[in-house]
Amino acid sequence: MQLSDEQKQVGKENFNEAVGTVRDEKMTDLERQGFTRRSFIKGAAAAVPSLGAVYFGYEKLKGDPVRTAFIGTGDEGSILITQHPPDYMNIVAIADLRPSNRERAFHGDGNEHRVGLIKKLGAEPASKIQRFDNHKDLIAAKEELGLEAVVIAVPLNQHMPLAIECMQAGLHVLSEKLMAHNIDECKQIIREQKKAGVLYAVGHQRHYSVLYDNANELVKQGLLGDIKFIRAQWHRNNSWPGRDSWRKPIPKEDMEALKGKTKEWGYEDVEQMCHWRLFDKTGGGLMAELGSHQLDASSIFLGKVHPIAVQGYGGRNFYGTNGVGSKDKQEDHREVDDHVYVTFEFPGPHHPKSGKFPESETDENDIVIVTYSSINTNGLEPYGETVFGSRGTLMVHLEQEALLFKENQPGGKPGGLDQRLYVIKGKGGDVVMDTTESLAPATQAAVAGDTMQKISRGYTEEMEHFCHCIRTENFNGPNDGGLRCNGEVAMADAIMALTSNLAMKYHRRIEFKDEWFDPDSDATPETDPEIVGDIA
Ligand SMILES: NC(=O)c1ccc[n+]([C@@H]2O[C@H](COP(=O)([O-])OP(=O)(O)OC[C@H]3O[C@@H](n4cnc5c(N)ncnc54)[C@H](O)[C@@H]3O)[C@@H](O)[C@H]2O)c1
């Protein structure tokens, strides 16, 4: 939805006002520890180094920073290097197959999100970090490196084999999303993690985003009323030649170094290795790469319940190789869809599947619909989620800003996009939105009007917490102070993304089965005879 700058400002101020009121208790606790209301609301981890530690309740690290290696220093690995918290994590080595990306790990690429180790840590400390041409040589050197943990940011088809090799070597693993290429691989990872007695976490960073946590708190407190619909999207316009970030030009040095040598690492050739997102063998398409983030966010807002069913349409509607089609169409032999549209049914709080109320208070019709689209031919609405409730609407844009609007109310209490609001506590301690006559920014809002670029997307906090759990030997799950996105949580995200791929592929509505989410069961959507019949 397109909003004017004024409406955006009103929405942001409404959000901050609501967070300030709803979280007063937590705020006081934080203020006691020296955090300002402003840093709390904005999640400004850059300005306040250990905001996450205070906010999410983990301590400053006890003991030495965890000796960590990065495997895969491409686009995402380089972002994580830039965001890594040196007080918690001591990077002792990096490994990458591509010479250009080994170089980028140290020198960055001119992008402020990928500054490189030298700028991040200083030339002298960075010079002590060892570099390896592949993960096997790195693992072989684990003793001399004193290695304790790895961060894995490689193509999807290598998540499972690398995680398992590292865990079998006794290393804790923080892997990038999606957890794995299929659900059988996810289950193998969880089983191996238990056997190896190490920690395994997945980098779905919204679990560590203060912004999302604040937004979710408003949802949990019931401020939006009844939620029946969430609309999420990630739209881009890659229709101009050379704009597609999924098939960037391959540097000559990588081509020369790796030609004929990629098969042993799981890639047919250098192109498949570098453009791995385009191919079924190496990637999982738009749902794995982009949709998994939005479905993760939507399911956080719905209390992390498992979905009931999914259906959708996906197609290669833009790119192709047959030389005909729209005038902007580009030649491209990708296997994955370039446009996807899916609809999920989730249980609402009173649905029997949510398990929140006794049977007598359940209602099969309490369904929340989540729609998701990802397209390549229009970028007017980039990415985010909109939660539509009976009392209000919450929008989260680009992991950077959240807006809140109140519904129009009968009896002269206006709502809508231009309406400032304040939040009051009702008789039973519940919170409701009301409108204010004054056009002056409300108390909380007045402190949150400066630049947004300092908002942490959660990467730093995710790495801090991973190291904290290692040092405290905390193997608990997310409900007991443990990793907020452990194997089970991440597998549920993978099941949503990969089952929606099956729904699009087989053109059918698929109902999710409890056993898919059970790591001890061998059942998976990809091998379910009701979905794939005798194809599997
Ligand atoms: N959390 C997020 O928001 C987010 C954003 C982007 C990407 N990702 C994820 O990060 C992962 C990496 O994505 P990317 O964009 O950085 O890809 P990329 O292609 O830019 O980088 C991957 C790197 O892994 C290296 N690699 C592959 N196999 C290796 C091996 N055996 N040993 C050492 N290095 C190896 C490649 O040489 C390459 O440099 C993917 O799983 C992706 O989904 C997450």
66-206+459-485 and 227-389+486-536: identical CATH topology: no
- Is the previous residue joined to 178 through a cis bond, with omega within 30 degrees of 0? yes
Is the pLDDT reported for residue 471 higher than 50?
yes
Q: What percent of the chain has pLDDT over 70?
A: 89
pLDDT of residue 441: 40
CB 282 within 8 A of CB 156: yes
Q: Which CATH architecture has domain 227-389+486-536?
A: 2-Layer Sandwich (3.30)
Residues pairing with 278 in the sheet: none
CA max distance for the chain:
73
CB 351 within 8 A of CB 362: yes
CA distance 218 to 444: 15
Residue with the smallest CA separation from ligand 1 atom 5 is 76
Cβ of 292 less than 6 Å from ligand 1: no
Residues 72-89, mean pLDDT to the nearest whole number: 97
Cβ of 72 less than 6 Å from ligand 1: yes
For residue 476, give the 3-state DSSP assignment.
coil
pLDDT of residue 121: 98
pLDDT of residue 422: 78
Domain 66-206+459-485 of CATH type 3.40.50.720? yes
Two tokens, residue 535: 């194809």
Cβ of 134 less than 6 Å from ligand 1: yes
CB 524 within 8 A of CB 184: yes
Cβ of 205 less than 6 Å from ligand 1: yes
**165 Cα–ligand 1 center, Å:** 17
Q: What is the model's pTM? A: 0.92
pLDDT in tens, 375-386: 999 999 999 999
Residue with the smallest CA separation from ligand 1 atom 11 is 153
CA distance 412 to 410: 6
Domain boundaries, the chain: 66-206+459-485, 227-389+486-536
Cβ of 282 less than 6 Å from ligand 1: no
Q: What percent of the chain has pLDDT over 90?
A: 73
Is the pLDDT reported for residue 492 higher than 90?
yes
Two tokens, residue 458: 């959660």
Cβ of 133 less than 6 Å from ligand 1: no
Cβ of 75 less than 6 Å from ligand 1: yes
**96 Cα–ligand 1 center, Å:** 9
| Minimum-distance ligand 1 atom for the alpha carbon of 98 | 37
| Minimum-distance ligand 1 atom for the alpha carbon of 276 | 19
User: Would you place residue 455 in the very low, low, confident or very high pLDDT band (cuts 50, 70, 90)?
Assistant: confident
Two tokens, residue 307: 């979905």
Continuous segment of H or E residues that includes residue 210: helix 210-220
Cβ of 265 less than 6 Å from ligand 1: yes
CA distance 186 to 180: 6
Residue with the smallest CA separation from ligand 1 atom 21 is 74
